[in-house]
Amino acid sequence: MNKTIYLQDLGLSDYKDTWDYQERLFKEIVDLKMLKRNEPETVTPNYFLFVEHPHVYTLGKSGDMSNLLLSEKQLEAKGATFYKINRGGDITYHGPGQIVGYPILDLENFFTDIHKYLRFLEEVIILTLAEYGLHGVRSEGETGVWLDVGTPFARKICAMGVRASRWVTMHGFALNVNADLGYFDNIIPCGIKGKAVTSLHVELGRTIDEAEVKAKIIRHFETLFEATLKAAETAGKFL
């Protein structure tokens, strides 16, 4: 099993360009797995992309369009784009001040359990938040990481949605770090009514060093997945 993960920070990158890039890496792994049937010694790679997107709303394959509260003209006025995509989950927002992570892994290099994979992604964020004195938790039946679940003040700080085929993953998580939460007012986040969204900088009352947060995420990801994340030499560029 190959537990080395190729890490690349794409910086600020257009959503569609990044989605296409994910699809290319995803297909590369799936194609190698097909080859591996006849050549068992074939090693499949793993990738982890960090990215920050310009303002964009994305709707998962089972999502409800009515959860987008803007018309096409209103989207344009806000400088935002919209895509219906092939991950699980409903609608969410990506934008500046948000750390988005896309692990593109062959889970046969780690474990073949999608439920466990999602719980591990949540745990990476929970452990990262704990380093800032925040008690992140899961909300039953609602993938992602929350604060104050079970109270009138429940609020989501990290959204998650993945796609998996032949045990290969894509898409991932979006952690609000210094995000403009006003953009969430234009959707019903994740299709869940009556629950708020928050950001790390709001909870702590200060601007957060995003590079520091990424370093913590990497460390916890390596520990939980018993993996080594190897930095790409071509950070900020598509391979």
- Paired tokens of 151: 């109270």
Q: What is d(CA 19, CA 49) in angstroms, rounded to the nearest whole number? A: 11
Neighbours of 212 (CB within 10 A): 12
Q: Give the contacts of 86 (CB within 8 A, at least 6 positions apart).
A: 61, 163
Q: Tell whether residue 160 is among the known ligand binding residues.
A: yes
For residue 169, the one-letter residue type is: T
Q: Tell whether residue 91 is among the known ligand binding residues.
A: yes
Could you tell me the CA-to-CA distances from 20 to 27, 39, 133, 181, 199 in Å, in that order? 10, 28, 37, 27, 28
Q: Tell whether residue 92 is among the known ligand binding residues.
A: yes
Q: Is 158 a catalytic residue?
A: no
Q: Tell whether residue 172 is among the known ligand binding residues.
A: yes
Q: Tell whether residue 141 is among the known ligand binding residues.
A: no
Q: What is d(CA 164, CA 26) in angstroms, rounded to the nearest whole number? A: 9
Q: Which helix (H) or strand (E) holds 51?
A: strand 47-52
Q: What is d(CA 62, CA 18) in angstroms, rounded to the nearest whole number? A: 21
Q: Tell whether residue 228 is among the known ligand binding residues.
A: no
Any idea how long the chain is? Answer: 239
Q: What is d(CA 116, CA 138) in angstroms, rounded to the nearest whole number? A: 13
Q: What is d(CA 12, CA 41) in angstroms, rounded to the nearest whole number? A: 37
Catalytic site residue from 190, 197, 217, 218:
190
Q: Tell whether residue 4 is among the known ligand binding residues.
A: no
Q: Tell whether residue 138 is among the known ligand binding residues.
A: no
Q: Tell whether residue 20 is among the known ligand binding residues.
A: no
Q: Tell whether residue 148 is among the known ligand binding residues.
A: no
Residues at the binding site are: 87-94, 159-161, 172-174
Q: Which residues are catalytic?
A: 190
List, as residue ranges, the binding site for substrate: 87-94, 159-161, 172-174
